[in-house]
Amino acid sequence: MVEVSAVEFEGLVSEALDTIPPDLTRLMKNVVVVVVDRAPEEGLLGLYTGVPLTERGDWYAGVLPDRIEIYREEHLAFCSDRDHLREEIAVTVVHEIAHHFGIDDRRLHELGW
């Protein structure tokens, strides 16, 4: 277990987001990334909720943003030190952004994520 302040944790999430290539971030539409203290279930590090870009059609208008949640307490409990925390946050951010692009867990695992 590692301990960092909520502000520092949010900074690590921001750092992870900054590593996403601009060519990809330009394609992200109507999505928000938030840090949430507690996960809805034990062991869950992040969650994407919304309509992936690959499933949006002409009907997609006037909807609330998709939501990527990064769970602080689960990360802190899972990680052994700050380097591990930084790495795991980055993996979680990439994983959830992939869901926004319509990439499912099966494909992510095939790709090594």
What is the tens place of the pLDDT at every residue in 49-69?
Answer: 999 999 999 999 999 999 999
CA-CA distance, 18 to 88, in Å (whole number)?
Answer: 15
pTM reported for the whole predicted model = 0.94
Q: Is the pLDDT of residue 4 over 90?
A: yes
Q: Is the pLDDT of residue 84 over 90?
A: yes
Q: What angle do CA 70, 87, 7 make, to 5 degrees?
A: 50
pLDDT score for 63: 93
Identify whether the C-beta of residue 67 lies closer than 8 Å to the C-beta of residue 51: no
Q: Is the pLDDT of residue 11 over 90?
A: yes
pLDDT score for 112: 85
